[in-house]
Amino acid sequence: MNETLVRNHGPFTLKRRLSDAIFSFCSGRLFSPKKIDGKSTENEVRVSSWLYALAQSERNMAFEYVRSTERGLSFKEAERRIMETGPNIPLSHSFPSWVQLLWNAFFHPFNIILIVLATLSFASRDCANGFIMFTLVFLSVALRFYHEYNNSKAAIKLVELLRYPVKVQRCAGRVIQTELTVQIDQRDVVPGDIVIFGPGDLIPGDVRLITSKDLTVSQSSLTGESGTTKKTADIREDRTTPLLELRNICFMGTSVLSGSGTGLVVSTGAKTYMSTMFSTVGKHKPPDTFEKSVRDICYALIPVMLIVVPIIVLTDYCMSKNLSRAILFGVSVTVALTPQMLPLIVNINLAKGALAMATDRCIVKSLTAIQNMGAMDILCIDKTGTLTVDRVIMVHHLDSCGIPEERVLRFAFLNSYFKTEQRNPVDEAILAYVYTSGYRFEPAKWKKIDEIPFDFTRKRVSVIIETETETWHRIHTHLITNKLVVTKGALEEVLHLCNFCDHAGSGLSLPLSVEDQHKILHMGEELCNDGLRVLGVALRRLTTESSGSGELNSEEMESNMVFLGILTFFDPPKSSAKQALWRLAEKGIEAKVLTGDSLSLAIRVCKEVGIRTTHVLTGPDLELLDPSTFHETVHKATVFARLTPTQKLRVVQSLQTAGDRVVGFLGDGVNDSLALNAADVGISVDSGASVAKDLADVILLEKDLNVLVAGVERGRITCGNTMKYIKSSVVANVGSVVSLLIAVMALRFEPLTARQLVAQQFLCNVGQIAIPWDKVEEDYAKLPQRWSSQSIPLFMLWNAPVFSMFDLGSVVFLWYYYGAYRPSESKLYHSGWFVEGLVMQTLIIHVIRTEKIPFIQEVASWPVICSTVVISAVGISLPYTPIGKLMGMTDLPLSYFGFLVVVFLGYFFLSQVIKRIYIRIYKQWL
């Protein structure tokens, strides 16, 4: 067994081969796979199995596992191992260079289309159009590169946080070896080193304890909770103990609060538990729904271009016998087919949403996060500070029978008042309760003699106080001394010190029976199950001999005490939390609580803020679920307690993959980094850890869910306006190109010259810049708005033929009414179709933007109305201007505008009929 463990996991026995490194890098960067079965990865299973094997073994056996000795490693052996294993850095994978990130940002199908069109424009001497498209490419690449570069820097910052000096025991000497304690950098620690740590030290790797003395550590970097964990070397654990609760194992990145110890380093670098947690941080996220849909639109346009444009070019060449002119016309058609303003419109839309959210105290780092906030339908939140005020308040002060008793509060107050070392939120809560409730306990009449400070082993604090004899006997006639030891601490610890129980009703202190102890503990357990923190209060009167003995012995002072009663505390919900959750639910967002706190406390808070608690799960329960039931159970549960960071990640990924949901995660600690990085919308707060803020897409300047509700509303408005542009552009562009193709084949000349076609598209694009300032219907913002690229072709098939039908109507009218089918009448035809096509593409936004009847039941915002009027006026007047004459246009007869009114009214009527049928079938419009 020993050989197997060393061979399979020995941190220094196997080198990673070059091919493995390349495969690991490529798979992590290019594919970034998500877990979909809810179970640990192979690396996590290997790490946990290794740590469990060491936790179950004797201390002497642990040295054999890592091939070390009780004296420690020699300096030469340590140098050999550092060369073999590499530096002790938890994130071992390489980060992409800025060149790689820039290439990833550049290589996008939409950018390729624009670059090809720009090149052809320059080749055809259409420099202005080519310059515009190159500018759009530059803006798109710059924004994407900036986002990816910042995301990668967050992971690098994690490495910088974990650099500190470490004391290790090494042996030196060739003949007689001497044990030396030296201080080295954390990065130079290797498996087999013996590390020495005390209060304030960080654990430099995964460690099997060798010795310990009152050792208490904080694992908040792994769990996110402020609780402490007691560690001891003199124990052998079993497999049923949760990994983070192993008492003889300390984990990399945790810190020592009190006590001291020595430990054998068993894992470093990429093979530590912390590495399995943060191995995905900074890796490229898979494209979200919005980004993927934009790509799909580009891919869909490419085959259309490859089919339509060559036909148009060949047809034009057959008529004109001028190849360069035909190619120029084909480029212009391609420009007309491409939604050139998509990057600009989307980015203006998102930037406007970001500015609006900033006024609501919500800072957006990633613009695409606004789109995802509009689509978000699940919000995973931590309990502390988000649902609660993150401040302890006192609730009860009860005697041993569970009856409110002022004496319990009096002595708890004196304990907290005279306590000087390690003042904590509990003391502040007691003092605040007394002052605000009008009690007058006159602390000035008491004097502090000494204090036995709190430590994590005793879990209690005691103060020795005295008062004037006259005052004391007036208040406490049944006690014969004016010097007391007042103790406050964990209920079980305090109860173990007591031999008597105070009965305030009779004024007597009676012996504390076993039955009384069980009764008090049961009462404390019930209060804990209600989500309250419970402390006990006791006192002891000092005899003349003990009070005058000079040197105080804490064990003697804290013995033979009288149990007074129980104090309870609670971190109450925010007054705004229930309303905010109700508003989120009203907008179709389901809230799930993911916390490292106890289940009972989480349930109490959730009940008070209105979150259902019929389906709850704990971290250990999560590990026991089968892959077949994992996703279903996670989907049903609303409260998750005692979760590790890795388990938070699995919950988020399960909701994303199996539930096909858009998941937001609100977290503010290092332990939330995994979930923040994986969520569709990572949300942190301004007071959060720097790594959490770096990985977050959105930062709240107030830790209030109401701020997030406003952000969701802005996200849905942004989503709606973006969809207006995309769908109206696709319908108008495809519809006009189809009309153009039919007209080219029917006529013996170009229906529009290349210059006229480019000018028409330019004016249409300028008019669409106002779309981000449009409003959306109230019903649209009530529900999460997700869209898929698959809906675009379907939408186009229903609406583009209607556009083409009326577009071709002008061809027929110009042909038969004005006889504009001869080449000699081409100027009239060009002018008429230019005006009709421009006004038609300008007005289509009013049809697409609403489910209702445009201009009657729903009117666009004034910027959109103004834009429509201005662009239409420019288009109608252009044939009459010198610029129009220069472009080959001529004056249009007034009767033609009467025809246009009929065409537009007919288009609005038929499009409204199609709209109602489409909504009835597909239950949506935008």
pLDDT tens digit sequence for 353-365: 777 777 777 777 7
| CA dist., res. 647 & res. 618, Å (int) | 10
Question: What pLDDT shows up at residue 1?
Answer: 36
State yes or no: pLDDT of 579 exceeds 70.
Answer: yes
CA distance 860 to 867: 11
Q: What are the beta bridge partners of residue 218?
A: 228, 255
Indicate the DSSP class of residue 641. E
Count Cβ atoms below 10 Å from residue 307 Cβ, excluding itself. 10
Answer whether residue 2 shows pLDDT above 50.
no
Q: How far is CA 28 from CA 34, 288, 510, in A?
A: 10, 17, 68
Is residue 411 within 8 A of residue 465, CB to CB? The reply is no
Please say if the pLDDT value at position 260 is more than 80. yes
Measure the CA–CA gap between 65 and 300, rounded to whole angstroms.
Answer: 58
User: What is the SS3 assignment for 815?
Assistant: helix
Predicted pLDDT of residue 430: 92
Q: Is the pLDDT of residue 27 over 80?
A: no
Whole-number Å distance between alpha carbons of 662 and 115: 33
Residue 181: name the closest of 200, 202, 198, 166 by CA: 166
**Nearest Cα to 407, choosing from 609, 562, 616?**
562
Strand 590-594 relative to strand 639-641: parallel, antiparallel, unpaired? Answer: parallel
Beta-strand pair 590-594/378-381:
parallel
Q: What is the pLDDT of residue 545?
A: 52
Q: Residue 644: exposed, middle, or buried by beta-carbon count in 10 A (0-12, 13-18, 19+)?
A: buried
More confident residue, 332 or 195: 195
CA 918 to centroid of chain Cα atoms: 36
Q: How far apart are CA 245 and CA 596, in angstroms?
A: 13
Q: 3-class SS at 171?
A: strand
Strand order in the sheet with 681-685: 362-364, 698-700, 681-685, 663-666, 378-381, 590-594, 639-641, 616-618
Burial 10-26 (b: 16+ CB within 10 A, else e): bbbeeeeeeeeeeeeee
pLDDT at residue 153, as a whole number: 62
Residue pair 798/918 in contact by the 8 Å Cβ criterion: yes
User: Which residue carries 């986002």 as its tokens?
Assistant: 147
| Sequence-separated (6 or more) residues with CB below 8 Å from residue 113 | 298, 301, 302, 338
Quick one: which of 505, 478, 488 has its CA closest to 539?
488
Residue type, 883: I
Residue 293 has pLDDT above 60, yes or no: yes
Tokens of 39: 């179970």
% of the chain surpassing 90 pLDDT: 14
- Confidence tier at 23 by pLDDT (50, 70, 90): very low
Q: What is the predicted pLDDT for the residue at 33?
A: 38
pLDDT-based confidence at residue 7 (cuts at 50, 70, 90): very low
Find the helix or strand (DSSP H, E) in which 63 lies: helix 59-65
Lowest mean pLDDT: which of 120-129, 144-153, 368-377, 795-804? 144-153
Signed CA dihedral, 768, 773, 777, 781: sign only: positive
Cα-based angle 633, 635, 636 (whole degrees, multiple of 5): 65
- Check residue 9 and give its pLDDT: 41
Q: Is 55 left (phi over 0), alpha (psi -120 to 50) or beta?
A: alpha
Strands 73-74 and 165-172: parallel
| pLDDT tens figures, 384-434 | 667 777 778 899 999 988 899 998 999 999 999 998 776 678 888 999 999
Query: Which tokens go with 6?
Result: 């060393």
User: If you average pLDDT over residues 868-889, what whole number do you get?
Assistant: 89
Contacts of residue 531, defined as CB under 8 A and 6 or more positions apart, other chains included, come to 570, 600, 601, 602, 603, 604, 605
Averaged pLDDT for residues 80-99: 74
Q: What is the mean pLDDT of residues 434-445?
A: 87
d(CA 754, CA 285): 42
Q: What residues contact 762, with CB distance under 8 A and at least 6 apart?
A: 129
Give the C-alpha distances (Å, rounded to integers) separating 761 from 145, 295, 440, 875, 892. 29, 22, 81, 11, 20
Q: Which of these, 653, 719, 75, lies nearest to 371 by C-alpha position?
A: 719
Has residue 287 got a pLDDT over 60? no
pLDDT at 80: 92
Is residue 372 a contact partner of residue 290, using CB atoms and an 8 Å limit?
Answer: yes
Token pair 């100027």 is found at 827
Q: What CA–CA distances, in Å, run from 519 to 21, 382, 568?
A: 61, 34, 16
- Is the predicted pLDDT of residue 131 greater than 70, yes or no? yes
Q: How confident is the model at residue 283 (pLDDT cuts 50, 70, 90)?
A: low
Instruction: Encode 583-620: b = buried (16+ Cβ within 10 Å), e = exposed.
Output: bbeebebbbbbbbbbbbbbbbbbbebbebebeebbbbb
For residue 601, what pLDDT is reported? 81
Cβ-proximal residues to 20 (8 Å cutoff; 6+ apart), any chain: none
With beta carbons less than 8 A apart as the criterion, state whether 93 and 28 touch: yes
How many other C-beta atoms are found inside a 10 Å radius of the C-beta of residue 700? 26
- Over residues 206-210, the mean pLDDT reads 93
- Nearest-angstrom CA–CA distance, 553 and 556: 5
Residues 902-922 pLDDT 10s: 989 999 999 999 999 999 988
At 818, is the secondary structure helix, strand, or coil? coil
Give the Cβ contact number of residue 44 at 10 Å: 18
Instruction: Render 730-751 in DSSP notation, one character per residue.
Output: HHHHHHHHHHHHHHHHHSSS-S
**Whole-number mean pLDDT of the chain?**
79
Residues 776-831: tens digit of each pLDDT: 888 888 888 776 667 777 888 888 888 888 888 888 888 878 776 676 677 888 88
212 phi, psi to nearest 5 deg:
-155, 145
Q: State the angle between helix axes of 289-320 and 109-123 in degrees (0 to 180), rounded to the nearest 10.
A: 30
Residue 925 vs residue 100, higher pLDDT: 925
The mean pLDDT of 438-454, rounded to a whole number, is: 85
Following DSSP, what letter does each residue of 261-324 receive, concatenated? EEEEEEE-GGGSHHHHHHTTTTSPPPP-HHHHHHHHHHHHHHHHHHHHHHHHHHHHHHHH--HH
The residue with greater pLDDT, 178 or 487, is 487
Residues 6+ apart with CB under 8 A from 505: none
382 is catalytic: yes
d(CA 217, CA 263): 13
Return the higher-pLDDT residue of 102 and 301: 102
Query: Of the listed 382, 516, 697, 807, which one is catalytic?
Result: 382
Say if residues 926 and 726 touch (Cβ distance below 8 Å): no
Candidates 567, 140, 205; CA nearest to 368 is 140
Q: Which band of pLDDT confidence, cut at 50, 70 and 90, is reported for residue 29?
A: very low
Q: Is the pLDDT of residue 447 over 80?
A: yes
Q: Given this model, what pLDDT does residue 32 score?
A: 38
Strand partners, 501: 510, 563
Most confidently predicted of 237-246, 400-409, 526-535: 400-409
